[in-house]
Structure 1
């Protein structure tokens, strides 16, 4: 996506923050009746979710929002902190890779885990939680950015000389989220609402783009 600075291009895994301006979950069901021992012996399969939306921004703008880990605690649901442990900078032909530590919190739980992050400007950002993560058995987040074809009704009708032009707008953003908690306790407690997280992530992402770039161009 551009020249990366420390703290950029990190994980897209999102958890609750405690600052007043940060994201929260609305309308959660009453979780008080959930027992810590529900499904304690189960070994659930990873859950998969897919979201996509056309936004009035170019691919570079969208990519830079996802890649800027320093801003995550300001808008990402459940994110309480983040830092880059190691990075290997790439370029337009070679992805940037890094290890990023995310601190997350939901309900009464506070945890940290490390993800392997791969960023290819201005196409995708993928994060895979380390196998040693205490929180997740599996966690993969993939954000992809594509230009909207000029023939689409959502396109502004302005021709582009290059269909891969990162400055052309609007763009299609897609999110693929795959996860399984390592702890049956976490899996039981989160089961009532974690399926909503992919939608919350896209909504928070859209609101962040609006805050950073303004209304954009349809």
Structure 2
């Protein structure tokens, strides 16, 4: 006697997105380490050039660390959060938020290393952002636009460097990211 094996498949119409996200990028750019560091460390002016940043205020400032309040919005959601920003000129800018209403945590790291030996006006940027939303709604909204938002953010810093320092010494090149 033969028995029939039945398999049951479930159709998931609505996939609940992962609340945790991580993005890594590595890029060779035509600006020096110090130039890129100065753009990324200039948190006070993010509201002027960073997409979706509507407010950027320095709450406390020390030579190697600052506390900043940022307001970000991608309508219909506008939220504010506070980050502690570690500064190591011209090598590193790291912003960490662990007490926001929007995120369980948010960590953004920019590392700057020398670029081409033959071009002192170049550097390699290693960029990492990782976060976990508190809300599934925020996670769903971000999932729809995540890649585009991150690329816009990266490009905003490069464009601000162009505005401040002029034309790049070489075109930017995407490199394979190094997981740290």
TM-score range, shorter chain: 0.7 to 0.9
Residues matched between the structures, number: 157
Cα distance, 1:132–1:70 mapped onto 2, change above 3 Å: closer
Give the structure 2 partner of residue 134 of structure 1. Answer: 101
Match of 1:208 among 160, 163, 166: 160
Give yes or no for contact 2:85–2:94 (8 Å, CA) kept in 1. Answer: yes
Q: Could you tell me which runs of 5 or more consecutive residues in structure 1 were left unpaired when the two chains were aligned.
A: 1-36, 90-95, 157-167
Aligned-partner SS, 1:192 = helix
Following superposition, the deviation at residue 198 of structure 1 comes to: 2.4
Structure with higher Rg: it is 2
> What's the RMSD between the two structures over aligned residues?
1.8
> Within 2, Cα distance between the matches of 1:193 and 1:216?
28
Give yes or no for contact 1:147–1:169 (8 Å, CA) kept in 2. Answer: no
Greater percentage in strand: 2
Following superposition, the deviation at residue 100 of structure 1 comes to: 0.7
Is structure 2 residue 29 aligned with structure 1 residue 77? no
Q: Could you tell me which runs of 5 or more consecutive residues in structure 2 were left unpaired when the two chains were aligned.
A: 1-13, 171-180
> Within 2, Cα distance between the matches of 1:113 and 1:76?
15
TM-score by length of 2: 0.80
TM-score by length of 1: 0.67
Give yes or no for contact 1:51–1:198 (8 Å, CA) kept in 2. Answer: no
